[in-house]
Amino acid sequence: MNLLHGIEYEHIGYFVEYMQGNKYIGSINLEEPDREIIGYYGRQDHVATEDIVFKKKRIRKGESFHTRLYPLCGRSNFNPKNITTL
């Protein structure tokens, strides 16, 4: 379980988002993080050493792209009935 904004949620993995400029190309799911910093500040710039193919789009060999890692969050265990007010 992880805590986000005071709410517990089930952690189910990560996804890596592939971008060229400001265009979303695709993403892949991971069970473990591939870098320490998550989100925008964990951005990594790359040059494709081979073609990277997604369902409808692709990054050709030699083209530059960047990736960002984000967590996948599952079901929240938040129950509003458990909140008490002073």
Per-residue model confidence as pLDDT tens digits over 44-59: 999 999 999 999 999 9
For the chain, which residues make up each domain, given as ranges?
12-76
Region for residue 62 given its phi and psi (left: phi exceeds 0; alpha: psi -120 to 50; beta: otherwise): left
pLDDT tens, position by position, 4-19: 456 667 778 899 999 9
Q: Give the pLDDT band (50/70/90) at residue 83.
A: low
pLDDT confidence of residue 3: 47
Please state, in angstroms and rounded to a whole number, the distance separating the CA atoms of residues 79 and 38.
28
Instruction: Pick 45 or 80 by higher pLDDT.
Output: 45
Distant-in-sequence, close-in-space partners of 16: CB < 8 Å, separation ≥ 6: 27, 28, 30, 34, 67, 68, 69
Amino acid found at 47: V
Q: How far is CA 22 from the centre of its chain?
A: 16
